[in-house]
Structure 1
Amino acid sequence: MAEEEVILKAEGLTKEFKGFVAVKNVNLHVRRGTIHALIGPNGAGKTTCFNLLTHFLTPTAGQIHFKGRNITGSSPAAIARMGLARSFQISAVFPHLSVRENVRVALQRKLGNSFFFWRSERVLNQLDGRAMELVTAVGLEAFAEQQAVDLPYGRKRALEIATTLALDPEMMLLDEPMAGLGQEDIKRIAALIRTVARDRTVLMVEHNMSVVADLSDTITVLARGEVLAEGPYATVSKDPAVVEAYVGTGHG
C-alpha cells in the first residue's frame, strides 16, 4: 500500500492497565477516502483502540501517524485541529441549546475561540448560514430551533455528526453510531455516513454487522486486544478465526 494512500497508521499499538493488556501490538492502516470498520466481540479492545488513536488514552507502546505526522503524545484538541475528529462523545452536544445553536458553537470551536458565548451577535449571525447548511445536510432542518434534549434518539445522532462536521475534519472516527437505534434510524444514519464519506475518511467501531457489510471498504477484526483479520467484509466474514471468535458472543 503506497504511503500517501494511508491517512492514519498505527504501528505496534499496545495498552496495558495494571498488568492487563487491553490492546496488544495492533497495526492499523486506514486508506484515505475509505470507510474502515473496527469490529470484534465484546471486550475485544475496540473502544480502547479508539481512545488510543484520539489520545484520550496514552499508549503503553507503539506509534500513531496521521497524514504522515507522528501524533503519538499529542493532545486530543491538537489532534482534532489537525483534522482527525471523533464523534459521539456525548459532551459534544449542549442539551438546552437548539440544534442550530449547537452547530454554531461547534463552528466557533473551529475558529479557535472555543466557548465565547459572549461574542458579538454579529459574529454569531455570520456563522448561522453555515450552521443551517450543516443542519440541512444531516436532515435536521425541521428540528433547527428545537432544543437538543427534546430530539428523538436517532436525530441526536445526526446532530452529533453535524457538530463533528462543523470542525471540517479530513477524517472522522465514529464510535458505535448505530447503538440503540431502531431500523428506520439505522437506515437514515447509514445514508448520512455514506454521504459524509464522499469527501473524507471514516473509521468506525460498530456492532451491527449488516451496517458494516453495507458501508465498509475494509474491516479490521479485533479479539482479545489483537488483530485477528483484516480485509473486505466478504473475505473477513468467512475467516474461520473470525467465525470462531464470534461464536457464543451473541453477535452473529
Structure 2
Amino acid sequence: MNDVLLSATNLTKSFGGFVAVDDVNLHVKRGQIHALIGPNGAGKTTCFNLLTKFLTPTHGTISYKGHDITAMSPADIARLGIVRSFQISAVFPHLTALENVCIALQRQRGDSFDFWRSQKVLLQFNDEACALLEDVGLSEFRDVHAADLSYGRKRALEIATTLAVDPDMLLLDEPMAGMAQADVERISELIRRISVNRTILMVEHNLSVVATLSDTISVLARGKVLAEGDYATVSQDARVIEAYIGEDHG
C-alpha cells in the first residue's frame, strides 16, 4: 500500500434516513489520474466533499500518505498538499489572469492572504505567475481580466491558481462541465501535462475524457462502489452498463 496516496475506508455519509455514500473503499495511487464516475445521484459529489473535508463522514476514515486526516479541516488538508477545484470557476473576475495567480502565490508569505496590500507586494511573484500561466496555456492572456476570458480559459486560470500552492494532489470537480469541445480538448491536454508530477482525482461526467485520461476508474451507483479498474474493464462490466442504461431510460 506504499503507493497509495489517498484512501477512504468504509466511508459513509447519511443525511437523516438517506445514505448518500455507503461504505465506500477507495485507494488513489500516487502519480495516477483516478476518475470517480457514475450516473446522476450516485453519490460522487458527496464522496468528493467527504474526501476534501467539506462534509464530515457519518463513519469511516480518510488517510493521506498513511496518516489519518478524517478529523482535519479543509484548510488543514490543503496545507498538507491536497487542493481541490469546484464545478463553478473560482477566480476574481475583475482582476487580470496575472493578478489572480499572484494572489494565489501569496500563500508563500505564510497563512495570510492580504488582498488589500499594495500591488508592489504582488510584483515579487510576477515571474513565477507568468511561468504558471505558460504552463496552462494562458501566457498571451496574462493582462486580460478574468471576466473577459472564455469559460474554458477561466477553468485553466483556476487550475493555475490551484497549482500556485504547489499541491501533491489535485482533486478536480467536473473540470469539463459546460465546456465546448475545443475547450474540453484544451483542458484535457492541460490535465495530462500537469499530472506528470502530481496525483489527480477527478469527478467527471464526460466518459470520452475519462476513457482518454484515466489510469483507474471507480464507478459509484446508489452510494456504493459498483466497479473499479481501467476503462476497458469498467466499460464492459454488466453492472456498470445496467446502471447507465437505467439512467438513460429511467
Q: The TM-score by the shorter chain falls in which range?
A: over 0.9
Identity %: 67
Gaps of 5+ in 2: none
Of 188, 191, 213, 1:190 maps to 188
What is the match of residue 136 of structure 2? 138
Contact 1:153 1:181 in 2 (8 A): yes
What is the match of residue 83 of structure 2? 85
Of 37, 40, 44, 1:39 maps to 37
* RMSD (Å) for aligned C-alpha atoms: 1.4
Q: 1:88: Cα distance to partner?
A: 2.7
Aligned pairs, number: 249
CA distance in 2, matches of 1:131, 1:88: 21
Contact 1:175 1:206 in 2 (8 A): yes
TM-score under structure 2 normalisation?
0.96
Of 155, 180, 202, 2:178 maps to 180
Secondary structure, aligned partner of 1:230: strand
Moved more, 65-74 or 81-90: 81-90
Matched, 1:163 2:140: no
Contact 1:14 1:26 in 2 (8 A): yes
Gaps of 5+ in 1: none
Contact 2:87 2:174 in 1 (8 A): no
Within-5 A mapping of 1:1-252: 3-88=1-86, 90=88, 92-119=90-117, 121-250=119-248
Are the structure 2 counterparts of residues 121 and 149 from structure 1 closer, same or farther at C-alpha, using a change threshold of 3 Å?
Answer: closer
Q: 1:5: Cα distance to partner?
A: 0.1
Are the structure 2 counterparts of residues 22 and 174 from structure 1 closer, same or farther at C-alpha, using a change threshold of 3 Å?
Answer: same
Q: 1:114: Cα distance to partner?
A: 3.2
TM-score under structure 1 normalisation?
0.95
Contact 1:93 1:160 in 2 (8 A): yes
Deviations 1:102-129 (Å, cap 9, x if unpaired)? 1111111343343213445444211111
Contact 1:88 1:157 in 2 (8 A): no
